[in-house]
Amino acid sequence: MPKKTSKKEKTIDKTKLPDAYIAGAGTVVEESITDTLEKNYMPYAMSVIVSRAFPEIDGFKPSHRKILYTMYKMGLLNGARTKSANIVGQTMKLNPHGDQAIYETMVRLARGNETLLHPYVDSKGNFGKAYSRDMSFAASRYTEAKLAPICAELFNDIDKDTVDFVPNYDNEMLEPTLLPAAFPSILVNANVGIGVSMASSVCSFNLAEICETTIALMKDPDHNALDTLKGPDFSGGGLMLYDEDTLNEVYRTGRGSIKLRAKYEYDKKQNSIIVTEIPATTTVEAIIEKIIAQVKAGKLREVSYVRDDTDLSGLTITIDLKKNTDPEKVMQKLFRLTPLQDAYSCNFNILVHGYPKVMGVYEILDEWIKFRVDCVRRRTNFDIKKKKERLHLLEGLKKILLDIDKAVKIVRETEEEAEVVPNLMIGFGIDEIQAEYVAEIKLRHLNREYILKRTKDVDDLREEIAALEEIAGSDRKIKSVISKELKDIVKKYGQPRKTQFFYASDIAEADEEEDIPDFPCTIFMTDSGYFKKILPNSLRMASEHKFKEGDFMAQEIETTNKSDLLFFTTGANCYKTKVSAFTETKASAMGDFIPAKLSFDEGEVPAAMVNTTDYSGFMIFVYAGGKVAKVPLNAYETKTNRKKLTGALSLKDKLVAAIHIKDNELIMLRSSNNRALIFDTALLLPKTTKSTIGVSVMSLKGKAQLVSAEVVSAETAEGLKKFCCKTIPSSGSAAKDLPDPDQMTI
């Protein structure tokens, strides 16, 4: 038993404690796990989401923004390239996360890496490739970089109070919270980020299309973006399945899956498929590895060799084909079996006012327009302030024009320098700022011509200020300015789409059945549910079958590798698969355990195995209460690749047997009170409902139940005439001369 702690609190003489004593230090306090997570983990999660992982409305994560702003302050917008190591070193003043992390971020922004549709960094040297997993970029001491010309549209007017600035991590300098991007860069360049419990994946769109759409939405908020924004445009090109429903979902919700395909051409001379553009979601190495794996698996027998021929001219994957091969059919298989066809999952999760939010294209552009309107208004107000300050100075200078000699006399006769400005203020009735400006004029400029030139712009300045104030006070006029800027950007930086379209109607899908080799085989299922597929030559050389203790062979069927298999279970389910899904084995092996292989529900065991190629015939379900159901086998045929059909038979009574018949057959039923009955299945009407319990066939007395059912031949039935019945239901006849039911195999 633990010792009971005293409820008395000990008094501590704090005068005898060391200076470093902290009240409560070392005390163990009980705390809820939810409170601990909220205090310790939630700040970390929010820091990752807000400060690292997700882009903001200007289109940049903090790491991107710090690099570009550092390069801008280094004069790399118009200057020559400098070593990447210099840029990385300077960026560490804003981003203290290590030089390699900074450099890797800069690599993704570079033209040489080919990640972005409109790269922000003009690079020289090896920056790796976005489409290659193994092509590493060179060290920062070898490569050079500067800002790309399009960055002028990111930093224009950044010094005109268009965005807020905050201190860096050591309070030594200021950095912008956002960049005043003059175009919707958030949608022009792709951005992917993984935060805590959420992620972001923003695909890129064509610059001209996105600017045109933005202008249209500013004019008409109900504009249909599909009319101007045709779909994503990826830096690697390729082909995109044009599906208006999917695109509309992405534009409205920010979520959706866009199907992409590689672009290829067929070289008839070399009998090769040349792939030149691949989906943005994969790499050259991943594609080649998958093709090799499929060739080894026997699913791409038409391919003889595949290699990476990428060089300085660009991406190239060469797929050599065997003779007499249709390249179109091979490509359909490649699209289905390899990442040459892939899907880009859109998840437009963006930080807005410090909070992550999943938005569609419409909402993103709406937020960007609000952001840009604020930038332009702040820039306009800044210009108004500067022009008013200039006007104020010129108005003071204009007063000096009235009597230059007086101004010279005041300056000359003032004994103390500190009194010059006050004396000018008194002499001309101007304020201190104006007087300071006049006092600073050089002696050579104290002539009428100079002063007239300086003051003739007063009226123009007043008109400019009035025009700017009118713009600042009107959202409509600010949007007009933004539209003009967007049109200018399209003229300077617009480029044709790289990603083209393909349509569902243009696709001739290859039949998946063609991939499955066809050959004869024999399939076996034991009473416990073990399955074997054995080839004829292996079967001829086989010794005895291997069984689990107490198990025995329940079914044996000669079939082909392409046929379908249906497993009916005691849980009233039907599990569908193909013979080709099982590997060939030998009689000496135990085989595959069907419930595990097909993921049966707990407690289910197979009641019957049915093999078919055309779903012809009927299923005969025999129940313990004497009822029998006849269901067409084509009721279990599905157009989709469903693996499990529920409600495949009735659960109202215990299933005794499930028998597949091609045509009407004679079936013998045996009961627990040793009676037997032979009936023709033609007496049963087929039921369209799979879960039907059927009709009464054998009348049972007392607690008797059916215990077995088996198909008998016409010859056998001829010798057992007394058990045959012409109408149902029937009570059957005593079966004293027949074998014991437990010794009968169905």
Active site residues: 142
**DSSP per-residue letters across 555-612:** EEEEEETT-EEEEEETTS-EEEEEGGGS----TTS--EEHHHHTTPPTT--EEEEEEE
* CA distance linking residue 543 with residue 522, whole number of Å: 15
CB-side neighbour CA atoms (13 Å) of 562: 11
Helix (H, G, I), strand (E, B) or coil at 679: strand
Q: Which residues, 6+ apart, have CB-to-CB distance to 138 below 8 Å?
A: 125, 126, 127
Place of tokens 């193909």: 578
Do residues 351 and 195 lie in contact, with contact meaning Cβ atoms separated by under 8 Å?
A: no
Number of H helices, E strands in the chain: 21, 33
Residue 138 tokens read as: 């060179």
The C-alpha atoms of residue 256 and residue 439 are separated, in whole angstroms, by 67
Q: Is 117 helix (H, G, I), strand (E, B) or coil?
A: coil
**What pairs with residue 83 in β-bridges?**
144
Residue 157: name the closest of 64, 72, 66, 93 by CA.
72
**Nearest CA-CA partner of 634 in 574, 587, 585, 589:** 574
**How crowded is residue 570: how many other Cβ atoms within 10 Å of its Cβ?**
16
Rounded to an integer, what distance in angstroms lies between the CA atom of residue 281 and that of residue 346? 11
| Residue ranges with strand state E in 59-153 | 82-83, 121-124, 144-147
DSSP bridge partners of 56: 351
